[in-house]
A and B are shown apart, each in its own frame.
Chain A
Amino acid sequence: MNTTVDDQQTGTVIPPVHEAPTILIRPSRGWVALNLRDLWNYRELLYFLTWRDIKVRYKQTVLGAAWAVLQPFFTMVVFSVFFGQLAKVPSDGIPYPIFSYCALLPWSYFAGALDRASNSLVGSSHLITKVYFPRLAIPISAVMAGLVDFGIAFVVLLGMMIYYGFTPTTAALTLPLFLSLAVATALAVGLWLSALNVQYRDVRYTIPFLTQFWLFATPVAYSSSLVPERWRAWYGLNPMAGVVEGFRWALLGKEPPASLLAVSTVVVVLLLIGGLYYFRRMEKTFADLI
């Protein structure tokens, strides 16, 4: 009888109940699996890192959470004066202040999250060189931490909606989708930039430029209806255009930006998957390079 084979098989196939997981550490080559399960096992760490970012941000600030409101609010005021009043940028019949604030809300979230995510790895070098955990937790928590600011600034938008007499329709229920799209965009680009930043410190200096150009390429101060009809779907190649127009549609009742959104979603999904794989590929070098 082939008892030895049997023994071996039972030995490997059915481990004892108390058996701990076996970890195999070996050099990886090329592209590696995403291993999102590992990230899931560390979800509590993700929570604590996010919580830390939020807590620390408002410690020792005089105005605390007010900062979340001040930045988009004053940008809105400046935009309203220069673009709305002086340049008379058309705002599709919506009062300019709420028209721009509704776009500034996801935009400031995005710009802040992108900046924090891109610098997150370099800023956490003391963790990366001293303890193991899925490195993805760092940029993800950086992106998540910005949501609190978003929530606070959103309250101001609600106030403005009451002031200007906008009643939310059922379209407002789709808002989480557009917010998710903004989160995904920030994360997708943040993953690329944070991993690049470990290797090339130039990245840090390009981010302010990048966000500035990106702001002008996004219909924040103006409407996407300025773009000729047949090019409008292509405008969705900038995912933030989809997010911003999505917000305006959901809250202020502009016409639905369907084709724009479809393109934006595809772009973000591709960027995000690419970013995840690139990040995982570079992950093994972080501790040595940082």
Chain B
Amino acid sequence: MTDIAVRVENLSKQYRIGGAQARYKTMRETLMDMAAAPARRLRRLGRPAPPEETIWALEDVSFEVEQGEVVGIIGRNGAGKTTLLRILSRITEPTEGYAKIKGRVGSLLEVGTGFHPELTGRENIYLNGAILGMKRAEIERKFDEIVAFSEIEKFLDTPVKRYSSGMYVRLAFSVAAHLEPEILLVDEVLAVGDAAFQKKCLGKMGDVASEGRTVLFVSHNMAAISALCPRSVLLEEGQLACYDDTQEALEKYLNLGAVLQRIPLIERKDRRGSGRITLMDVSFTDPQGTPTPTIRSGQDTRACISYVCKDGVPLRNVVVSIAFDDYLGRHLFSCPSRISGEPFDEVPPSGRMICAIPRLPLPPGTYTFHLFCGVNNETGDWIRHAGQVSVAEGDFFGTGRLPEASRRGLLVPHHWDVE
């Protein structure tokens, strides 16, 4: 019998939700609460506790990963992928259930954790290595390798605050890539750096996988998941939707996308901007405005973005943009209303902004999109990685044919002549 490296049993995690005020209670409130608690408890005696505002970020998830297996974890934003990884990394405790892990665990929830801008590259390699759980002797042994991989030899004694973001990420990933735990938990760290470096990182991940280590890999990068992971866990709203061959799981995942036509953005905390306008959700529809289960290459497509203005007042001078990235995070194209010459002089307090894209130039695949909305030359709301959209095969050229997968970038309408 093969060894089970990770065993997850009925794992659940509950979070209390509420505004920022509810999170940081002040001491006075707590003291008042404590004083009032006995009376409240007395009154409540024998009755069930009132429902609190809580959500289950993870609910009753069970699965097993054998030693040496590489398992992908997929699901949309907020499905519980990161929560699962955080529990397995022992950053946060589960509310119910348990997980058993056999072996030394290394977790990469982010690259460059603990990097200090004032310290030099050399110093940060040691610091970051130690934070990731490497022994000093181990870091010393791998030091040259790390530096060579990161390609920053020349800047080793420069404080990292003077690094370009590319250099910073390369150094950070190099340290992380040389971590040698028996079980590796990875969260979306490949969504960084330029394309060439990403390729290198994917290669390194492949090496790790082939060395017989157990890997749990969270990613939105479907190509990477299907290349690296034979099996995948699909999470949907905190529950295990399936644990199967990656192809099966991916198919299920893409179908889930079809069912959920409207991509909600309200819960998103990672937005930037003044907040004068809030983007609420996005849906992709056909030209008539009917939500379509799938969008297809070459189809006339509309992206409808619902929004609400702060304080319910109409806003003037509004620009909006949607941008698409491919699975490697490479920018493909964007549709900025400012450039196309259609800024809105005034928008109603709430409504939908609609971007019509005739003959969608995207070949089949999964794409990430970003949303931006500016008010009066200021960022009103900006959500990077707002969501994902999968594009199905469609007849872009009217010939029933599409370029083969390796030759796809963007589809451009064209015409050939000979004279």
Most B CB within 10 A of own CB, among A48, A126, A201: A48
Residues 13-51 of A, flagged 1 when their CB comes within 8 A of B and 0 if not, give 000000111111111100000000000000011011101
* Residues 103-125 (chain B) with a chain A CB within 8 angstroms: 103-105, 107, 109-110, 113-114, 116, 118-119, 123
A127 contact from B30, B114, B118, Cβ within 8 A: B114
A44 contact from B15, B26, B116, B130, Cβ within 8 A: B130
**A23-B131 in contact given A52-B116, A127-B114, A287-B91 (Cβ < 8 Å):** no
Chain B residues within 8 Å of A131, by CB: 89, 91, 107, 109, 113-114, 131-133
Chain B residues within 8 Å of A49, by CB: 130
CB distance from B49 to the nearest CB of A (A): 17
- For A127, the closest partner residue in chain B by CB is B114
* Residues 181-233 (chain A) with a chain B CB within 8 angstroms: 196, 199-203
A55 contact from B89, B103, B123, B130, Cβ within 8 A: B123
Chain B residues within 8 Å of A28, by CB: 93
- For A56, the closest partner residue in chain B by CB is B118
B56: Cβ under 8 A from any A Cβ:
no
A126 contact from B15, B25, B113, Cβ within 8 A: B113
* Inter-chain contact B91/A25, CB cutoff 8 Å: no
CB distance from A225 to the nearest CB of B (A): 38
* Inter-chain contact B119/A52, CB cutoff 8 Å: yes
* Inter-chain contact A288/B90, CB cutoff 8 Å: no
Residues 172-188 of B, flagged 1 when their CB comes within 8 A of A and 0 if not, give 00000000001000000
**A128-B91 in contact given A25-B101, A200-B26, A202-B27 (Cβ < 8 Å):** yes
Residues 55-78 of B, flagged 1 when their CB comes within 8 A of A and 0 if not, give 000000000000000000000000
- In angstroms, Cα B87 to Cα A45, docked, is 21
* Inter-chain contact A27/B131, CB cutoff 8 Å: no
Residues 270-303 of B, flagged 1 when their CB comes within 8 A of A and 0 if not, give 0000000000000000000000000000000000
- In angstroms, Cα B91 to Cα A284, docked, is 8
A133: Cβ under 8 A from any B Cβ:
yes
**A200-B24 in contact given A24-B100, A25-B99 (Cβ < 8 Å):** yes
**A23-B100 in contact given A52-B127, A200-B24 (Cβ < 8 Å):** yes
- In angstroms, Cα B95 to Cα A210, docked, is 36
Chain B residues within 8 Å of A163, by CB: none
- In angstroms, Cα B23 to Cα A133, docked, is 24
B94: Cβ under 8 A from any A Cβ:
yes
**A130-B91 in contact given A20-B102, A26-B97 (Cβ < 8 Å):** yes
- For B67, the closest partner residue in chain A by CB is A20
Chain A residues within 8 Å of B103, by CB: 20-21
- For A200, the closest partner residue in chain B by CB is B27
Chain B residues within 8 Å of A48, by CB: 126-127, 130-131
**A22-B119 in contact given A52-B127, A200-B26 (Cβ < 8 Å):** no
Q: Which residues of A contact B (CB under 8 A)?
A: 19-28, 44-45, 47-49, 51-52, 55-56, 59-60, 126-133, 196, 199-203, 284, 287-289
List 5 additional A-B contacts (Cβ < 8 Å) besides A24-B99, A203-B27.
A26-B94, A44-B130, A44-B136, A200-B30, A202-B26
For the complex of A and B, list the 5 residue pairs with the smallest distance between their C-beta atoms, beginning with the closest: A26-B98, A20-B103, A48-B130, A132-B90, A25-B99
